[in-house]
Amino acid sequence: VPSPNRDLPVRTGTGPVADRDRALTVLLDPALAHVVDLVAWPDGAEIHVANSEGEAAVDRTDPDRGFVTIRGRNPVADQDPLHATPLAAVLADPSPPAARNAYPFAARRLISAFGDPDRSPDLYVVHSARHHWPERGGHLGEHGSLDAGQSRAPLLLSGAGVTLTGVVDAAVRVVDIGPTLAALAGCAMPGTDGRVLTEYLCAAGSPGPRPTAVVGMLWDGTNCNDLIDLAQQGELPAVARLLERGGTLRGGALAEFPSVTLVNHTSALTGVGPGRHGIVGNVYFDRATGRQVLANDSATWHRAGELLRPGVCTVFEVVAASGRASACVNEPTDRGADYSTFGLIRSAGNSDGARSLRSALPDPADDPHATAEWVRENGDYAWSSQVDAFGLAQMRQIFGGDNPQWPSPPLLTWWNTTLTDSVHHAGGPYSEIARDGLADADRRLGAFLDLLDARGLLESTAFLLTADHGSEGADPACTGDWDEALRAAGINFRDEGYGSIYLGVGARV
Ligand SMILES: [Zn+2]
């Protein structure tokens, strides 16, 4: 798949270098080190990372060489993809400071994050793992950072065409998801940043059942360590059913940077990072148009496909090119799918997108899969439960055999679950609300597996369960705001999504 923007000349930064250096002086001050894990910026052919203890750089054309230390301690010296796994290890040192943290695949992820010529910021300020910022919309559970804890999504493979068993000491990348789903569906997705996880799949042409249906499931924001542990403890029986006929990776799938929702839904489904697909943040500033873009918003999700850069291809388009059908449930990155929830919203012509769905969604108080106590107490829980009940209802339509559009299931179906993100934000990973939310998602998965079993489809279906990022606990005592310090220094900037700094383009209104 060609990608024109990959071949653009290396960007040298549009903000004046003097502004950048003044900003760095502010951001790298030890007084902010408790909230600033590291700062990253492009400089000619290099990407630099620094914090108050040191600086390193990598050649953006040669990520395999890795970071070279310039002074002090290399902030991304530890890139162990299995850092802070399994659950017992992370509970012993939760939300670690920079010196004890790890940044898997840091070079490739940062090079991609700075790869868009108009949309990538001049600087990324990476929150420390503990940073708590409720006054700016932060929560007890956070993601978005470069570190292992916030970047690690689960990765489980199961069923027809899968050879993975047990819990394997390995980690892959979110950009590997699209190519792997395509391979399970018998299609090729060339030219991606990711790869097919061939080591966990039956070889093409080998004996044994080939999947007649492939189901990719994204449980937004799910903590990988906790998912594996809860399934092993018998708390998530439907996930355990998948594990009985498959396996999972202890290190999961590492998100692209920043480890936020729409960046990584899109990376999973296109197999390329933000520097190529162009959705560099849930919110970003586009220098070409001089406008802020709210990409991940219930009013605009249904138009997310319009933000994709030329040459980018979704896994749904790959399946369509092979003449087969696909379906996409509750997922903004849906281009090419024959059935799509957001396609229905687009064709209905609603200008406020998913917001207008609310009245049509089922009452969460009547949902047998929802934890009633949280539905009553927590508005986000209630809303997300409604969305996910609608998701299950669509999966029943697609797989139930009663819908004339689907006498047999599509070759590829993608099913997005949203409650899991709400609950990890609300209480942080390992909290009661997070685990109750996972149990709800598991009950909905169980209902779907029961349906497949009753229709004789279970044995011939392949499953991939993942997320878009992880979740790490914030510390309510760890507060501070680098924007105040930048303003006090008289620096002209916008901070989009709290961390993407665009210099010289005026303060965010
Ligand atoms: Zn998310």
Instruction: Render the burial of 302-330: b for 16+ CB within 10 Å, e for the rest.
Output: bebbebbbebbbbbbbbbbeeeebbbbbb
What is the whole-number distance in angstroms between the Cα of residue 379 and the centre of ligand 1?
Answer: 18
What is the whole-number distance in angstroms between the Cα of residue 74 and the centre of ligand 1?
Answer: 29
* CB-neighbour burial class of residue 165 (10 A; exposed 0-12, middle 13-18, buried 19+): middle
What is the whole-number distance in angstroms between the Cα of residue 65 and the centre of ligand 1?
Answer: 31
What is the whole-number distance in angstroms between the Cα of residue 219 and the centre of ligand 1?
Answer: 8
385 phi and psi angles, rounded to 5 deg: -65, -40
What is the whole-number distance in angstroms between the Cα of residue 426 and the centre of ligand 1?
Answer: 13
What is the whole-number distance in angstroms between the Cα of residue 424 and the centre of ligand 1?
Answer: 10
Residue 270, helix vs strand vs coil: helix
What is the whole-number distance in angstroms between the Cα of residue 263 and the centre of ligand 1?
Answer: 9
What is the whole-number distance in angstroms between the Cα of residue 408 and the centre of ligand 1?
Answer: 31
Q: What is the pTM of this model?
A: 0.95
Residue 87 and residue 229 in contact, taking contact as beta carbons nearer than 8 Å: yes
What is the whole-number distance in angstroms between the Cα of residue 454 and the centre of ligand 1?
Answer: 32
Closest among 427, 445, 449 to 436, alpha carbons compared: 427
Residue 461 and residue 211 in contact, taking contact as beta carbons nearer than 8 Å: yes
What is the whole-number distance in angstroms between the Cα of residue 301 and the centre of ligand 1?
Answer: 13
What is the whole-number distance in angstroms between the Cα of residue 458 and the centre of ligand 1?
Answer: 28
Give residue-wise pLDDT tens across range 232-283: 999 999 999 999 999 999 999 999 999 999 999 999 999 999 999 999 999 9
What is the whole-number distance in angstroms between the Cα of residue 116 and the centre of ligand 1?
Answer: 21
What is the whole-number distance in angstroms between the Cα of residue 71 and the centre of ligand 1?
Answer: 35
What is the whole-number distance in angstroms between the Cα of residue 204 and the centre of ligand 1?
Answer: 33
Q: How far apart are CA 183 and CA 363, in angstroms?
A: 38
Paired sense of beta strands 326-329 and 246-249, if any: unpaired
Q: Element (H or E) spanning 68, and its range? A: strand 68-72
What is the whole-number distance in angstroms between the Cα of residue 144 and the centre of ligand 1?
Answer: 9
What is the whole-number distance in angstroms between the Cα of residue 266 and the centre of ligand 1?
Answer: 11
What is the whole-number distance in angstroms between the Cα of residue 480 and the centre of ligand 1?
Answer: 24
What is the whole-number distance in angstroms between the Cα of residue 505 and the centre of ligand 1?
Answer: 28
What is the whole-number distance in angstroms between the Cα of residue 490 and the centre of ligand 1?
Answer: 34
Residue 184 and residue 462 in contact, taking contact as beta carbons nearer than 8 Å: yes
What is the whole-number distance in angstroms between the Cα of residue 45 and the centre of ligand 1?
Answer: 31
What is the whole-number distance in angstroms between the Cα of residue 269 and the centre of ligand 1?
Answer: 14
Residuewise pLDDT in 10s, the chain (509 residues)? 333 333 333 334 455 688 899 999 999 999 999 999 999 999 999 999 999 999 999 999 999 999 999 999 999 999 999 999 999 999 999 999 999 999 999 999 999 999 999 999 999 999 999 999 999 999 999 999 999 999 999 999 999 999 999 999 999 999 999 999 999 999 999 999 999 999 999 987 777 768 999 999 999 999 999 999 999 999 999 999 999 999 999 999 999 999 999 999 999 999 999 999 999 999 999 999 999 999 988 888 888 899 999 999 999 999 999 999 999 999 999 999 999 999 988 888 766 666 666 777 899 999 999 999 999 999 999 999 999 999 999 999 999 999 999 999 999 999 999 999 999 999 999 999 999 999 999 999 999 999 999 999 999 999 999 999 999 999 999 999 999 999 999 999 999 999 999 999 875 44
Residue 398 and residue 409 in contact, taking contact as beta carbons nearer than 8 Å: yes
